[in-house]
Structures are given as structure tokens and as C-alpha cells.
Amino acid sequence: MPRVSIWRDHKEMDLFLNEAMTCFHDENYDRNILSQYLYSRLAWTVHRAVTLPADNTDLPTRLRKAIKLIEKKFVQKISIDAIAREVGVSKPHLLPCSKSI
């Protein structure tokens, strides 16, 4: 699962985390069911964030592709050279572009 830092709506994330912590510390909730709910909610949020277009239309196309590739392959080791090759630019071209975000 990609990192949760791609959660786009920070207010929604805060509400989710508050709910999770409140329920976790309340002994009336079944922790197995709670953990299934939390994992499912995180998986759905990540799925939405990865599949829906991000609000980064002001970025160059190749930089958007690089960001999407990094988020898609987050758990894999991927070099800057590999990212540059994948999006069709040289490493020296990619690095200054990434400093703009």
C-alpha cells in the first residue's frame, strides 16, 4: 500500500484518525472488526488517490508522470535514472523539474 501522505483531504484524514483513536481506546469495540475497517478505509483512500487525477495540472506532463510512477511503485526500489527513463527525460533534466514542487 502506498504511503498515506497522499491523502488529499486533510480534514477528512483528521476525522478518520480521531475516529480510529477513539474507537481503539474504547473497550466496547471489537478490535478485529475495527482493524478490518481501518485497513479497508486506508486501502480505499489510497486507491482513490492513485486512480483519480491529482490536482497538479500546473506541473509539466513528464513531472506528473514521474510523481505517478513514484506513488505507484512506492514499495519498490526505483532509482532516479529509472524514473527519468520511464518518463522519457534525462536525469539532469528531471532533477531541476522536481525542485520546483
pLDDT of 23-37, one tens digit each? 999 999 999 999 999
Whether the CA torsion 73, 84, 67, 99 is positive or negative: it is: positive
**Per-residue confidence (pLDDT) for residue 57, from 0 to 100:** 64
The answer to whether 29 and 38 are in contact (CB under 8 A) is no
**Per-residue confidence (pLDDT) for residue 2, from 0 to 100:** 46
Burial 83-96 (b: 16+ CB within 10 A, else e): bbeebebeeeebee
Q: Which residue has the higher pLDDT, 24 or 52?
A: 24
Claim: this prediction has a pTM higher than 0.95: no
**Per-residue confidence (pLDDT) for residue 31, from 0 to 100:** 94
Q: How confident is the model at residue 93 (pLDDT cuts 50, 70, 90)?
A: confident
Alpha-carbon distance of 32 to 40, in angstroms, equals: 12
**Per-residue confidence (pLDDT) for residue 1, from 0 to 100:** 45
At which residue does the C-alpha cell 489510497 appear? Answer: 46
Residue 43: CB partners within 8 Å, gap ≥ 6?
1
Domain borders along the chain are 4-51, 61-98
